[in-house]
Structures are given as structure tokens and as C-alpha cells.
Structure 1
Amino acid sequence: MQFNNTWLRIALMAIPGFFLSSPEVLAKKNHSTKQVHSNKQGQGNFVDGIAAIVDTDVITQRELNNRMTAMRVSGNQATPEQVLSLLIDEHLMNAHADQMNIKISNQQLEQGLQSIAKDNNLTVEQLKQAAKQHGINWDEYVANIKQQMKMEELRSQVVRARVNVTERDVDAFLIQHPTGLYADYKKPVAYEPRYEKRQVVERSFDAKAIAFQHIYIRVPDGSSAEVVEAARKKANEALSKIRGGQSFASVARQYSDAPEASQGGNLGIRMNEDWPALFMSVSKKVRDGSTTGVFKAPNGFHILKVLERRGVINETRRVVSVRLPDPPQPQLTPREQAAKQAGPVNVTESNVRHILVRITPVFSDAQAKARIDEIAAKLNAGEPFADVALKYSQDSSASLGGDIGWISPGQADPAFEQAVANLQPGQISAPVRSQFGWHIIEVLDRRTEDKQASIRRDLAHETLYQEQAENVLRDWVQQLRSQAYIDNRLTGEKTTR
């Protein structure tokens, strides 16, 4: 069934306001209401702050605005008319849920919050802090989650009571669609290129003046080759000390023959054209704060350090057309890929039993860990696994001695599944932490079989169930509308029972 908790699997910022229909269902909606009154001049005019009246319930303009904001944040664009229609449906469904006495327990709520946190790679406490950072009131957030879980449970009950997919239906579907999926299911989409005009600011720096520090090793005119080589060696020695970490100024004081040596070789700042052409040429590719190598001039050897450049920033603005990225292509799940592949799909399954101690708002992680350690001690003392599971496990499998049957990869909590993979048949695990609590796990047996036929059959069943469920929900919501008084202040429409 597709209508369980999948709507919870969304990023944090999509959560402040939920919506009950997918964009596809939203586009298909076409409520054939009996129009009693239409006042086009009053459309969108919420003088009293009321967007709609549903029986005795009121949908405020603030509620509509908040839901639209939440949908925009989550990347779901919809018109005010569409969002208000969803809110009307939600109010009708909430009233019906109250009539059916549907309630969400604290344990169910905690599991829902854990699921959301896990899908965002957070703990519940980290989720709470993230909500605070995004300006989301935690109490309102939790109340909203609880309300949406209530709506989901209502929808599930409605669907379960009205949808029936038979084995013959599945057989007929597989004859036409052997993979269990429609031929165009998640088929790559060819998108028209999308472009956006953007203003680009290009900046460039035009240096007009430069400041140098200088080391000069003098070579008198007519010097012998030995004198020239000694001067070169002295210059290279000075450069080596600079590159070894000594300050340019201290090396200049020690080695330079220039008049400014006592000032650390500081030559000051001058316009570019006022410096010797050789200085400008050698320093052209040297960054501010860096030093040139040793270079020779007719009067000797030189080393320069570029202290800073000054000039003007040139700015050019132009409008360019930028292609926007295409929307992501639909991706097949591993199970769907297995259904479509040619040849067998060999899957290794494990027959597992376990003992679970749940973590709840009133039973902390530390308490659950202490309890599971006590249970582990009983097993180590020789008590039969099935007897201990029956007495202490908080899972529905307790009455079966903890036996949960055969599980396949991807079917269980990742931490639970990893623990199962690390066990040999007949081996019992140490306590294992999952999103549900603390477990002790035993692998009873293991087998490898070709599961492609069963995967395809399951997918076919899910596809047919989903199709029927969408039609059932659409018709059911329409029935609720037909039995209600609705005054839509946005469109000016009113419907009566």
C-alpha cells in the first residue's frame, strides 16, 4: 500500500504545513459542486479574515497563507484556489476522523517523529533544535505532525475498507505488463531547455602604483668574473634566508648595498611609470607580499619584494542568458530495477526472531538499554529464547517466540539489518540499537532464491492498489463535500447539502 507513512519522508523545511494530495492528484481534481451563489467581484476579498467556512468550521486567511508558504518552501507550487481546496478537504476529513474516534497515541507520535528525524539524518532532539533554528514552533510542529498522522490513518481506513485487488487482477495485469510496472513508469523525461536572464558584474583591478622593498648587491664596473660570481652567491644567500623564514627587512639590513638598507630596503610607493622598466618587468607576475628571485642588472644583483599595489577597480555590467538545470529524472528503486532486469534476481533472506524493548517518551534509551542487558543475561544463563521473548519482548511477535519470519535486504531498519547480516545461523547477537529501541536478534536460517517473480507480482499489486486507492479517495472526498456546507470566499462559491 502506498498510503502509509511515505508523506513523512520529506526534508525538514517541507514539514511546517502538510497537504493531503500529491501534485498529480491535485491537478486531476475536478469537484463538481452545486453552485448556489457566485460573486466574482468579491473573489479574494477576505475583509473579515475568513477564507472559507466549512459547516461550522472556519478557515482563516492566515491559515491559507501559512499553508501556501509551507508548500512553497517544500518546492510544491500551487495557486491559492488549489491550496484552499485542499484545506477544505482537510477540515472535512478531520471532522470525519473525529466521528470515527480516530486518535494517535503518544507512542505512534514518537515513532513518527523518529522516522522524520531519521530521514533527515538527525535525532529527535537534533530535529527539535533544527526546527528552532528555522523559526518553527516545536509544539505547533508536533501538533501538526499528529494531525497529519490522524489524517493518514483516516485515509488508510477508508482505502482498506473500499479497495480490493484480487489475484486474478494481478494475473491480468502481469499478462500485459510482465515486469509488474507500466512500460512508461519513471521513463526519462525530455525537458525543454529553460533559461534565465541574469546580470553579471565583472570587476578587474588596474594597478597604477606599486611599493617595493629592495636588496641590492653591488658589482662595480669592470669587475672580474670572480667578483661577479661572489656577488651572485651573496644575493642567492640572502634570498635563501628570506625563503627560510627571515624577514625581508632584516636580510636587507644585513646584505644590501643600497642606501635604503638601514630602513629594511623600503623604497616606498611610486607610480608604475616612475619605476625602472626592469623592476616592473620582473615583478609583473609576483603577488602582493611575495618576493622575486635574484635578477641581474648592469650594476649588480637585485631582489624585490612587492609590498602592495594600488589602482582603480573597473566594473562592467552585462546581462547574460543562463540555462537552468533540468528537473531531476525519476529514479527506479532497487526493487524496481530488479523487476526490470533480464535474468534471475537472487536474494539472500534470513529467518529471524528477536526480543525488543521499546524507547518511549516515558521509557528512556538508558532504561531500555538496562532492560535489554537484563534480558541478555537471562539468555546467557540458558533460558530458552522463545520463552524470554514471550515474557519480555514488546513487539507483536512476542506471542510467536519473537519469530518475525524471513526478511530480505532493505526490508528492516538499517542497524537491525546490519546486525542480522553479521550473524551466522544459530547465533544470537549482543544488544542492538535501532530507531525502535533495543533488540536481541537470532538468525534461525538463511536461504538464497530467485525473487524476481514475487517482486514483479508485489509491484503489480501495489500499482493496482494505488490506482484504486486514488479513485476511492477522490470519490470519498467528493462525497464529503456533497454532504457539507461550504462557503469559499476566494472563488465566491457556496455549496449546500
Structure 2
Amino acid sequence: MRRLKRVRQLAFATIPVFCLALPMVAQAAPGTAGKTAKTQAQFGDGIAAVVNTEIITIRELDNRMASLRISGQGGAARDQVLQSMIDEKLMKQDAERLGVKVTDAQLNQVLATIAQRNNIPVERLKEEVSRSGMKWDEYLQNLRNEVMMDQLRNRIIQSRISVTESDVDAFLKQHPTGVLPKKEVAYTPPPPQKQVVVERSFEPKAVALQHIFIRVPDNASEDVIEAARKKANEAMGKIRRGTSFAAVAKEYSDGPEAGNGGQLGIRLFEDWPSLFVNVTRNVADGRTTGVFKAPNGFHILKVLERRGLIKENKRVVTVQPPPPPRPQFSPMEIAAKQQGPVNVTESNVRHILVKTSPVVSDKQAYERIQSLHNRLSNGEAFEDVARKFSQDTSAPLGGEIGWIAPGVADPEFEKAVANLQPGQISNPVRSAFGWHIIEVLDRRSGDKQPEIRRMLARQTLYEQRAEPIFTDWLQQLRSQSFIDNRLSGSISARN
């Protein structure tokens, strides 16, 4: 299964998501070999770690290692994977203590966004997950846990970070575009490297053939020759129409091997008539020659297979390693750095949404949205239908989602908005989240570069302050917990 892209941004609201960075180590740490025997003895009870009152089993650790495509029973990578699982367990416990929960509606919205980013409908997501070898219930639980930890992180960070307008102003004095310079990694081209290239080629030595032979007697008249040619062409026509070569050989061939479907066996090239070798030289295995004439009559050959030698030719080539990729800027950063105004046309939009989900098929959602469209056509007010029936958080506002700029909503949703005039209501529109009815209330255009720059500045300041705060909080959480790491043999008790 192709790898499903995880999504961090919803259609009309952003859900910041955090995944613990896991630096993977390809080589074992020093002393790993001596530690392995000790580790195996510690794992006799099947427990990798105890986190407060919960355990992480060896099976769970092995499954996580497998999902990350990390092999081996020891080493720094295994230590790091277990530590990340301990941190996840601590975060989940704290989320439960604080009452952080993920509703089914939130989970369905995340599923819809994942499907959108993978360009597949929601109903196909379950099939893709199944093809990957993961159970659907397990996938949902993992996704729910991930979103829950994201919400916990947001709560912790947002309660401790304050980015004021004065902070933004100060940042913009230093960086007027709102974009931090992206430093290119100092690059000194490494010396060219020599690599051994192995070129393989096949040298055929023998070939297996099937044969149809239409005999022409010595000193035969032109009429006899023409009759034989006609018979050979007739046999060739049947082969081209799909009749098996063996069946045609049994019916038409005058050769002694006709009863065996024309099988001549396999021989070295020097043991075949030179005419047969030359005629079949450019015929691929499994393919058939045309009709060709020899002094004794007309022939058709089928090449069954060739056998021979694989030749290897090794040569040394000089390769120059490529330079590292240059820093890339997002479309928003490019707009912020642009000279002159950034004119953006925004649309004031309201909509009615009927969601698709693992339990609501696309067909059912479409039938529902079509019935709501009929209500609008019969004169019911848009805001009334939205309040009663829309499954979006904008329902209490009569479906209004405010001003949206290009690039922030689902592509199909945006396409429909762009094709509507103010005051016009769309037909049902399909997006990754379900089926919509959309109305454009108004449009406005203006230079959005100042807002873009302030937004980027605020985002950068937030990110700069968030990571140290979260790291400090996680360290405090560890120090307040009982952790028995049986991989390392360390035990830490509550302070």
C-alpha cells in the first residue's frame, strides 16, 4: 500500500499536531553486543517497561520497531523507540487526567482530511489500511491517540505562551517580510567517489523450437508449390487468430513431430540448421516467425525459450555526490517576500455539509444533500436549513464560515466557490469531507501582504517558544512518574 499521508490542517480550522522526533541510529552503540545477553535475560517476563501502573510489552515494542522498519534486538535505535513509547504512555495518562478526549466527530474529520491529502474517498481509506496489514480498529485507535496527544500538547503550550502584537512588531523590525532567512548548509563538494558498476548480459547458447512443416516434393510443379504455400498461409492465419500452435501443427504439419504438437526440443545453435537460427534470431521467446520457404517446403517456427550464459562485466566509474537540496519557501513565504502588494480575492461563504464516514456511505450522503437542495429550491431559507441539518460546526451560524482566501480550503470546495457569483447557490459539491451546498455571499480584493507577514511572524515566534516549553513539561512529567525501563535497566521513581 502506498504510504498514507498524515494531515495537520483541516479545511477551515488548523489542528497543530506533534509527533515525537525519533532520531534513528543505523549503527549499534558501543557495548551493544555485551548488553544483548543481559537484555534477553531481563525480558524473560515479556515486559519492556512499566510506566506508573501500565506496562509496555516486548510484543508492542517489536511491533513498533517493525512498523518503523527498524530491525535488531539491541542498540541505540531500540532504546530510542522504547523511550518514545514511554513518553507516549505518560502523555496519554496525563491527557486522561486532564479530561482531554477526541470525539467521534473530530476523528471523522481527521479521517476525511487524511483521505483528501491522499486523493481517495473516505470509504477507500479503510481498504488501503487493510492492504497495509493493519486492522482498521487498531488504525482508528492509533489515530485517536495521536490527535489526543496533539490536543494535550496544544493545551500545555497555549497556556504558557503569549505572543503579543508588540512581539510581532519587534520581530518585523528585524525581519520585515516576516520570514526568517533560510541558511544554506555550507557545502564543500566531497571528492569524487569511485563505484563498481556490474553490467549483466545474456548470451544465448541454445533454443527450443516448435515446428510446422508443409512439404513440397522435389521437382514439384508451380501448382503444387502454390497449394503448399496456401496451406502454410492458412495454418499461419489460424495461429494469428488464436489457435494454439500445437493444435495447428497436428492439423497441418507434414513433419514427423506433428503428433507431438510440432515440438522439436532444445538444441545448441550449432545443432540447428543455419536457416532456422537465422530466421529466429530476432524472434522473442514465445513468439512465432512468419511463413518462410526452404528447398524442401514451407516452414513456421515458434521460439519456446532460449538458454545460455549470464555474462558480467565490471567497470569502475567516477561519481560526484549531489549537493544538498536548497532551502525551499512555501507559497505564503514567497508572497510575504514579494516586492509590491499581494492582491488576494476572498469570498464570504456559507455552506451546508453532510459528512461521509465509515458508517455513512457516499451514496447516502449524496441522497441526503440532494434532499436539502430540494428544500432550498422550494423556498426554504439557506440559514434555516443549515441550522437544522448541516453537520459542520458553522451550523449554529446558519452555515457561515466567513471570508476564505485561495489555498485554505478543500480544492473541490474552492473550485466550486470560484465558479459562483455572489448570491448564487451551488448544486451539491463533493469534497473530502462529504457533500456541500455552497453560497457565496460577497467578494472582496485587497493587498494581504501585511496580514501575511504578521501571520508568519506570529507563527515563527510561537514555534520558537513552543518546543522548549514542551520539552521542559515532558521532563517534569517523567520526573513525577514511576518508570521501570527494563531495556536499559534504569528505574526512576516519583520525586
Q: Smaller-chain TM-score range?
A: 0.7 to 0.9
1:303-336 superposed Cα distances (whole Å, 9 cap, x missing partner): 5433447774323467788989989957544334
Q: 2:408 aligns with which of 408, 411, 419?
A: 411
CA distance in 1: counterparts of 2:389 and 2:273, whole angstroms: 91
How far is 1:194 from its partner? 9.2
Separation of aligned partners in 2, 1:277 and 1:360: 69
Contact 2:349 2:441 in 1 (8 A): yes
The 5-angstrom pairing of residues 125-140 of structure 1 reads 125-140=123-138
Could you give the per-residue CA deviations for residues 142-169 of structure 1, whole angstroms, max 9, x where no partner exists? 2222222211111111111112222333
| Alpha-carbon distance between aligned partners in 1 of 2:210 and 2:491, rounded to the nearest angstrom | 80
Preserved contact between residue 208 and residue 272 of structure 1 (Cα < 8 Å) = yes
Deviations 1:424-464 (A, max 9, x none): 11101123333434332111222343434433332222222
Displacement of 1:342: 4.8
Instruction: Answer with 377-386 or 54-63: which moved more.
Output: 377-386
Cα distance in structure 2, aligned partners of 1:294 and 1:435: 61
Q: Aligned pair 1:154/2:152, yes or no?
A: yes
Whether the aligned pair in 1 keeps the contact of 2:213 and 2:255 (CA below 8 Å) is: no
1:424 corresponding residue in structure 2: 421
1:170 to 161, 168, 188: 168
TM value normalised by structure 2: 0.73
Match of 1:34 in 2: none
Using a 3 Å threshold, how does the CA distance of structure 1 residues 424 and 405 change in structure 2: closer, same or farther?
A: same
- d(CA) in 1 for partners of 2:435, 2:323: 41
Q: 2:179 aligns with which of 170, 181, 186?
A: 181
C-alpha displacement of 1:204: 3.2
Contact 2:177 2:453 in 1 (8 A): yes
Taking structure 1 as the reference length, what is the TM-score of the superposition? 0.73
User: In the alignment, what sits opposite 2:300?
Assistant: 305
Q: Give the distance between the partners of 1:401 and 1:156, measured in 2 at CA.
A: 29
Range with greater deviation from structure 2 (101-110 or 259-268): 259-268
Contact 1:50 1:489 in 2 (8 A): yes
The amino acid of 2:473's aligned partner reads W
Could you tell me how far apart the structure 2 residues matched to 1:265 and 1:169 are? 88
Paired AA for residue 415 in structure 2:
Q
Name the residue aligned to 1:118.
116
2:46 is equivalent to residue 49 of structure 1 = yes
What residue number does 2:31 align with? none
The one-letter amino acid paired with 1:409 is: P
Residue matched to 1:314? 309
Q: Distance in 1 between matches of 2:19 and 2:247?
A: 75
- The count of corresponding residues between Structure 1 and Structure 2 is 461
Instruction: Determine if contact 2:90/2:477 at 8 Å carries over to the other structure.
Output: yes
Aligned equivalents of 1:393 and 1:170: distance in 2?
A: 38
Aligned residue number for residue 206 of structure 2 = 207
Tell me the SS of whatever aligns to 1:473.
Answer: helix
3-state SS in 2 of match to 1:348: strand
The whole-number CA distance in structure 2 between the counterparts of 1:403 and 1:456 is: 26
Structure ranking higher on relative contact order (CA contacts 8 Å, 6+ apart): 1
Q: CA RMSD in A?
A: 4.9
Deviation sequence 1:21-62 (CA, Å, 0-9, x none): 1347x99xxxxxxxxxxx999557323222222233322222
Aligned residue in 2 for 1:335: 332
Which residue matches 1:85? 83
**Unmatched runs of 5 consecutive residues or more in structure 1:** 1-5, 11-17, 28-38, 222-226
For residues 134 and 197 of structure 1, do their structure 2 counterparts lie closer, same or farther at Cα, with a shift above 3 Å needed?
Answer: farther
Q: What's the secondary structure of 1:47's corresponding residue?
A: helix
Structure 2 vs 1, CA of residues 131 and 359 (structure 1 numbering), >3 Å: closer, same or farther? closer
- Assess if the C-alpha contact under 8 Å between 2:394 and 2:400 holds in 1: yes
AA aligned to 2:288 is S
Structure 2 Cα separation of the partners of residues 125 and 254 of structure 1:
55
CA distance in 2, matches of 1:88, 1:108: 26
Secondary structure of the corresponding residue to residue 72 of structure 1: coil
Larger Rg: 1
5+ residue gaps, structure 2:
10-16, 26-34
Match of 1:291 in 2: 289
Task: Report if aligned partners of 2:373, 2:427 keep a CA contact under 8 Å in 1.
Answer: yes
- Could you report, residue by residue, the CA deviation over 1:1-34 in whole angstroms, capped at 9, with x for unpaired residues? xxxxx95469xxxxxxx9831347x99xxxxxxx
Q: Distance in 2 between matches of 1:367 and 1:271?
A: 67
- Kindly tell me: are residues 78 and 417 of structure 1, through their superposed partners in 2, closer, same or farther at Cα, counting changes over 3 Å? farther
1:104 aligns with 2:99: no
Q: In the alignment, residue 87 of structure 1 is paired with which amino acid?
A: M
- Deviation of 1:473 (Å): 0.7
Secondary structure at 2:59 match in 1: helix
In 2, Cα distance between the equivalents of 1:253 and 1:392? 74
State the SS of the aligned residue for 2:452: helix
Given residue 306 of structure 1, which amino acid in structure 2 is its aligned partner?
Answer: L
Q: Does 2:454 correspond to 1:457?
A: yes
- Counterpart in 2 of 1:13? none
| Cα separation, 2, equivalents of 1:41 and 1:208 | 56
- Tell me how far 1:128 sits from its aligned partner: 2.5
Q: 1:476: how far off?
A: 0.8
Whole-angstrom CA distance in 1 between matches of 2:262 and 2:477? 87
